[in-house]
Homo-oligomer: A and B are copies of this chain.
């Protein structure tokens, strides 16, 4: 088993470096992209194989999943692990930094359970909490 960190090199990574901001800005620059929060949440239970994300994050394409994991690794939240096998398998797990999001994700989940029913936003349905 080898562990490597994906280094940033994308345009996104460079844009990230030139934009400072408040803590909340920095959080949402990272998590405020479609799928990213859900990808992080899906690793809270332990390492996840690439193919397993496709079930945990319904509707995501392989290309976008790969891009998001690269961004998360570049930000220090995720480690890529290669199990040489055979069969060779690649999995991803949270670093301590990434796992540190657990209390925040728990709070978000609690809020959604209480205040954001699955039909919130639909005509005639109002959330209550």
Contacts and interface: CB of A to CB of B under 8 A. Distances in A.
Interface of A: 7-8, 13, 16-17, 20-28, 30-38, 41, 58, 71, 74-77, 96-97, 100-101, 103-105, 107-116, 118-123, 126-129
A84 B100 CA distance: 46
Copies in the complex: 2
Given A23-B109, A108-B24, A38 B32 contact: yes
A85 to B, nearest CB: 29
A115 B36 CA distance: 17
A129 B100 contact: yes
A27 B100 contact: no
A103 B104 CA distance: 8
B38 A28 contact: yes
Given A104-B111, A109-B24, A122-B8, A128 B41 contact: no
Contacts of A114: 100
A97 B111 CA distance: 9
